[in-house]
């Protein structure tokens, strides 16, 4: 079932490529990287919790799948890390989003859990380590501005609606739920960045987020964080797998080593 979800994201990848083909504007490059990063994060979770033996219901890590789908492609690792930074910056670096999330209601009926959730959100928003660890991946003040800005925003929003509609075709309910949730989370991060500039022009708070958007955004950050951590934690196993492949093929070992080193280099800082 997870494989079907991955195949659906492959279709989204094709949609993304056709959209960005021949385009050079920075906004569309950012969109390309974001969808590619989300697309790369999905198989990380598939490989991290994989059905190894259906007859015994045995689940575990599929190192070969992780290497084949993601780690042998440095650009996919790079785009996944870019998407992770993008969502972090949307949460922690924009004053409008920080104020909104700090004042948001976290009422589920469980008072103890609600207080814990609110405390964790504040720790995240005002973490000095996150502030210093989240560099500016791009200058958002220069994006989606100018005469073509409003039209470009509408195009991007339309693309995300199309991607979300594609997820309705996924047969697995759990896969469909996770896919739509993460797409909405990425759309929410973009919505936060879209509000930049509007506040300067109108002089007031223009950002309005719905409860489900906040939930989707936090869940997306969690999934991306787990993907990045998984790359770090599973590096020794992946390196052993790569060494075995080098031994078996005994062809161009230097190239395989460079590919893996380049992939991990994006996550060492």
Contacts of 187 (CB under 8 A, 6+ apart): 157, 160, 164, 213, 216
Which two structure tokens, joined as six digits, stand for 197? Answer: 């500039």
Contacts of 190 (CB under 8 A, 6+ apart): 34, 156, 157, 160
Contacts of 52 (CB under 8 A, 6+ apart): 58, 59, 60, 62
Q: 50 pairs with which residues across the strands? A: 60
Q: Is 195 annotated as a binding residue?
A: no
Dist CA 234 CA 241 (whole Å)? 11
Which of 15, 25, 134, 175 is an active site residue?
175
Reply yes or no on whether 134 is catalytic.
no
Q: Is 39 annotated as a binding residue?
A: yes
Taking a C-beta distance cutoff of 8 angstroms, is the pair 189, 87 a contact? yes
Reply yes or no on whether 169 is catalytic.
no
Q: Is 69 annotated as a binding residue?
A: yes
Taking residue 153's Cβ as centre, other Cβ atoms within 10 Å add up to 17
Catalytic residues: 172, 175
Binding-site positions: 36, 39, 69
Binding-site positions for FAD: 36, 39, 69
């Amino acid at each position: 079932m997870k494989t079907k979800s991955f195949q659906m994201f492959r279709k989204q990848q094709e949609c993304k490529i056709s959209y960005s083909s021949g385009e050079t504007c920075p906004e569309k490059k950012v969109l390309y990287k974001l969808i590619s990063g989300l697309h790369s994060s999905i198989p990380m979770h598939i490989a991290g919790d994989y059905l190894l033996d259906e007859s015994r219901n045995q689940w575990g890590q599929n190192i070969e799948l992780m290497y084949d789908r993601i780690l042998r492609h440095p650009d996919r690792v790079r785009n996944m890390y870019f998407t992770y930074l993008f969502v972090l910056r949307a949460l922690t670096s924009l004053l409008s989003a920080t104020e909104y999330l700090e004042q948001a209601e976290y009422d589920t009926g469980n008072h103890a859990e609600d207080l814990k959730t609110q405390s964790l959100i504040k720790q995240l928003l005002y973490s000095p380590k996150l502030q210093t660890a989240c560099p500016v991946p791009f200058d958002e003040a220069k994006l989606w501005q100018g005469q073509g800005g409003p039209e470009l925003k509408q195009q991007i929003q339309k693309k995300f609606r199309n991607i979300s509609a594609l997820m309705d075709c996924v047969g697995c309910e759990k896969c469909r739920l996770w896919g739509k949730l993460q797409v909405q989370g990425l759309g929410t991060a973009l919505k936060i960045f879209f509000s930049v500039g509007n506040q300067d022009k109108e002089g007031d708070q223009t950002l309005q987020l719905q409860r489900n958007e906040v939930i989707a955004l936090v869940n997306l950050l969690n999934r991306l964080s787990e993907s990045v951590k998984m790359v770090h934690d599973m590096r020794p196993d992946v390196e052993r797998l790569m060494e075995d492949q080098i031994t078996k093929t005994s062809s161009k070992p230097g190239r395989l080593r460079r590919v893996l080193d380049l992939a991990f280099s994006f996550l060492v800082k």
